[in-house]
Amino acid sequence: MRLSWVLIVAVPLVAAAQAPRAQGPLRLSLKRAVELAVAPEGSARIQVAGETVKQAQSRSAQARGALLPDLSSSFSYANQTRNLAAMGIKFTVPGFQFPSLAGPFNTMDARVSGTQTILDISALRRFQASKAGVAAAKSDFNAATEQVAANVARAYVGAVRADADVETAEANLKLAGAVLQQAENQKQAGTGTGIDVTRSRVQMANTRQRLLVAQNARRAGRLQLLRAMGLRLDTELELTDRLQYVPVDAVTLEQARTAAMKARPDYQSQQERESNARLAASATKLERLPSIAAVADYGSSGTGLGNALPTRTYGISLRLPIFDGGRRDARRAESESVYRAEKVRTGDMKDQIELDVRLALDRLHSAEEQVQVAREGLDLAASELAQAQRRYEAGVANSLEVTDAQTRLERARDNQTDALCNHSLARVDLAQSLGRARDIAQ
């Protein structure tokens, strides 16, 4: 299945937005805007998601450490005295008194010790759960990328819509000036009246007011786009794409739903979280099983380096949990509850994905119809204005008819802009519902 995106003008890649102003405004297409936003150093949300992945990887490394050898070394040297009586050593010989204080004497010990887990199923299961946690964090990162890309696309569409509003207002102002000039000419020719000129001036003032509003909205739209991309708010932008209609290849609900289930990173992340909860619950249950570890140490000990002798210890350690005051049972009940909650969330997300797909398809179909109706309305309004102007010039109609036709043409232009904007936003919604927001404008 292939989607054709509304904003398709390609531009060369340019320098980053932090470039000095001397290089001129940043030429920005939709594709470039998304690329800047989802870069590792781009949006703050992307940076936070990247750190979350690193944290999950660190937790997985900690869980793996319980299965790997644990080696340590030590060295001690001490000069000691000992109270033999305090240690329970007491000799009584008639006529002879043994000292109660031994020492001072030196002790030295240099040693390497190590342990290696041989069998610990619970620790192995916790490591498996941590790997599922890493996969979930990576899917969360992809989901954050999708969300940022969709937000930037919507902000870009809003910015180009603001450009279109300004262009429409300027065209309306030019039209109002032409109508005013026509009314003045008619008055000078004696076929018009002062009220006709006044009416045209009022229309022109209203159009100029709408132009000021549109210019302010354009500035606000650019600021919102910069904020969504994570760029400096004083960056000058030159948007290279424009609103235009490009039809979408037909797609059925079943095709869209299947594609969304496979591609949506938030659904993949939720599945990984469910797997993590399942493995964590299993690890808690397996804590009741015995664990086996090998222990060993080797080193030298004596009163000093000159008389140190090698000594060693090695063996097997078996640990069998018996009773811990009920803490293990409580952890098991908690982990099982967490697992059941994640299963509920997974089922709920499947329903949400289907809802997103249905709403996106409905909005796209409605937007396509709006574009067609707006196009027809614009053609009719332009034709009406041309006829009204000819009638006015011929003296068979007054300026009120021209003003009404002019107003309807302005409304038709606004309707076309609204329809194209809605169609663009519907495409973004459909892309996000399918998990393809990062592919916008490619």
User: Does residue 166 register a pLDDT over 90?
Assistant: yes
Q: Which of 164-168, 225-229, 248-252, 415-419 has the lowest mean pLDDT?
A: 248-252
370 located within any domain: yes
Instruction: Please give the residue that has the higher pLDDT: either 408 or 392.
Output: 408
Amino acid at 109: D
- Phi-psi label, residue 325: left if phi above 0, alpha if psi -120 to 50, beta otherwise: left
Mean pLDDT computed over 294-314: 90
Separation between Cα atoms, residue 400 and residue 422, nearest integer Å? 33
Among 220, 159, 193, CA closest to 424: 159
pLDDT computed for residue 438 by the predictor: 85
Query: In 230-317, where does DSSP find H-type helix?
Result: 253-263, 265-285
Q: How many residues are recorded in the chain? A: 442
CB 297 within 8 A of CB 306: no
Which residue range(s) make up the domain with 164?
Answer: 21-74+120-289+329-439
User: Does residue 265 register a pLDDT over 90?
Assistant: yes
Provide the 8-state DSSP code for 190. T
422 located within any domain: yes
Express each pLDDT in 354-383 by its tens digit: 999 999 999 999 999 999 999 999 999 999
Tell me phi and psi for residue 323, to 5 degrees. Answer: -150, 130
Separation between Cα atoms, residue 280 and residue 333, nearest integer Å? 11
User: Does residue 5 register a pLDDT over 60?
Assistant: no
3 located within any domain: no
Amino acid at 359: L
In the chain, the number of structural domains is 1
Query: In 66-105, where does DSSP find H-type helix?
Result: none
Residue reference for tokens 């299961």: 125
Express each pLDDT in 83-130 by its tens digit: 877 877 776 767 666 777 887 888 999 999 999 999 999 999 999 999
User: Does residue 6 register a pLDDT over 70?
Assistant: no
13 located within any domain: no
User: Does residue 14 register a pLDDT over 50?
Assistant: no
Separation between Cα atoms, residue 146 and residue 152, nearest integer Å? 10
pLDDT computed for residue 23 by the predictor: 66
Mean pLDDT computed over 216-242: 92
CB 417 within 8 A of CB 380: no
Average per-residue pLDDT for the chain: 87
218 located within any domain: yes
271 located within any domain: yes
Express each pLDDT in 305-362 by its tens digit: 888 899 999 999 999 988 888 888 899 999 999 999 999 999 999 999 999 999 999 9
Q: Distances in Å between the alpha carbon of 183 and those of 174, 378, 381? A: 14, 24, 20
The proportion of the chain whose per-residue pLDDT surpasses 90, expressed as a percent, equals 61
396 located within any domain: yes
Look up residue 289 and give its two tokens: 């099983």
Sign of the CA dihedral running 49, 54, 55, 61: positive
Task: State the first-to-last Cα distance of the chain, in angstroms, to the nearest integer.
Answer: 15
Rg of the chain in Å (alpha carbons): 39
CATH number for the domain that contains residue 342: 1.20.1600.10
Look up residue 175 and give its two tokens: 């039209």
Q: Which of 26-35, 82-91, 287-296, 348-357 has the lowest mean pLDDT?
A: 82-91
347 located within any domain: yes
pLDDT band at 82 (very low <50, low <70, confident <90, very high): confident
Express each pLDDT in 380-404 by its tens digit: 999 998 998 888 888 777 778 888 8
User: Helix and strand tally (H, E) in the chain?
Assistant: 8, 6
Residue 394, C-beta contacts closer than 8 angstroms, at least 6 positions apart = none
Helix, strand, or coil (residue 113)? strand
